[in-house]
């Protein structure tokens, strides 16, 4: 079986689809590091009532197939209310 594509766009779409996220940003930071690295911002109602570790675990579960090929994954996970309070659009 082929491995999932490892690109910012592929990760963005997977997170949006699997978490029902209303906003997802994925930045490929590989150029600043020695291997595949990404920074993600995910805004999802699925994070309501969950602590930071639980939120990050949800993201890791969604990207489980890709994590073996990602050297670094920086996560920022917010509820829609937190995103709105920060002025997110």
| Calpha distance 83→85 (Å, rounded) | 5
22-53 per-position pLDDT tens digit: 999 999 998 766 678 999 999 999 999 999 99
- Output the pLDDT for position 33: 65
| Model confidence pLDDT, tens digit, residues 49-77 | 999 999 999 999 999 999 999 999 999 99
So what's the pLDDT on residue 76?
Answer: 98
Q: E-strand spans in 1-89?
A: 23-28, 37-43, 72-78
Residue with tokens 């509820």: 79
């Amino acid at each position: 079986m082929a491995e999932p594509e490892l690109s910012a766009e592929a990760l963005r779409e997977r997170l949006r689809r699997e978490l029902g996220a209303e906003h997802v940003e994925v930045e490929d930071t590989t150029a600043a590091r020695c291997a595949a690295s990404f920074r993600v911002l995910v805004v999802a109602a699925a994070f309501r009532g969950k602590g930071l570790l639980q939120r990050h675990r949800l993201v890791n579960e969604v990207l489980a197939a890709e994590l073996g090929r990602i050297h670094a994954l920086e996560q920022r996970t917010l509820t829609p209310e937190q995103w709105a309070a920060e002025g997110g659009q």
